[in-house]
Amino acid sequence: MSNRQPAETTPLIPRNRDVHPVAYDPNYKTSVTRSPNFPLLAMESTVTEETGPVFNQNKLGPLDNNLIMNWTQGKAPAVGERILMHGRVLDESGRPVPNTLIEIWQANAGGRYRHIKDTYFAPLDPNFGGCGRTVTDENGHYQFLTIRPGAYPWPNRANDWRPMHIHVSLFGSGFGQRLITQMYFQGDPLIDLCPILSTVKDRAQVDRLVAPLDLASSKPLDFLAYRFDIVMRGRRQTMFENKPEGM
């Protein structure tokens, strides 16, 4: 679903590693074997990272961003608490990121994924696939209608549970902006107990992963809304002698 249109080629701002999770944390046991042994290298972006792919709405189906109905193609709704997940995608300079593909995947209302290796006791919902996609509009807005996912246990320590969350993948306007993250829900007590979230050492950065309840965008007698704004890696501005901060 990629259009080979000319893409912006402005150099990308270097990543701020201080806001990323640490790679090694003994409380998150799989990070012990997966983490790198040597420091990461920071390199300048090139045309490869600064351009494409470019997406648009042409290849999307009418139910792609409606996880309540897309698995059955509108024949039967998924079971669970209906919610609207919405927000804007911006870069570090505050500019909207239009026409970027957003994909999400999640567990069902009982906390189980439609995946062959998920053996949690919660039943599968025959009407819920757990995946969706959309493309941001010209102002960076996006939205998904879905089911609030359930919490679930995972084999880390004796009794660890993942908070309710939705996985999010974004492509940005170039390969160097590629981002995979997770959205959590305001008020979930498991957030402060999660070993994966605790790899983010700055509490302010953890809070940015928590979507607040947005009653203004909720639909009475239908669904609650949660707003999740996403900031991607930005692009350097052009420098001028009389305006060092750029245009």
| Catalytic-residue membership of 86 | no
Distance of CA 50 to the CA centre of its chain: 20
Q: Which of 88, 141, 167, 236 is catalytic?
A: 167
Q: Which of 28, 112, 113, 148 is catalytic?
A: 113
Q: What whole-number distance in Å separates Cα of residue 51 and Cα of residue 67?
A: 30
- In sequence order, which residues have a C-beta less than 8 Å from that of residue 125 and are 6 or more positions away? 78, 79, 80, 108, 109, 110
Q: Which of 148, 162, 233, 235 is catalytic?
A: 162
| Catalytic-residue membership of 133 | no
Q: Which of 86, 165, 227, 233 is catalytic?
A: 165
Comparing C-alpha atoms, which of 21, 13, 10, 27 is closest to residue 160?
Answer: 27
CB 170 within 8 A of CB 232: yes
Q: What whole-number distance in Å separates Cα of residue 107 and Cα of residue 124?
A: 9
Joined tokens for residue 226: 């949660």
φ, ψ (nearest 5 deg) of residue 86: -150, 170
| Catalytic-residue membership of 142 | no
| Catalytic-residue membership of 141 | no
Q: Which of 152, 184, 233, 235 is catalytic?
A: 152
177 three-class SS: helix
| Catalytic-residue membership of 152 | yes
Q: Which residues are catalytic?
A: 113, 152, 162, 165, 167
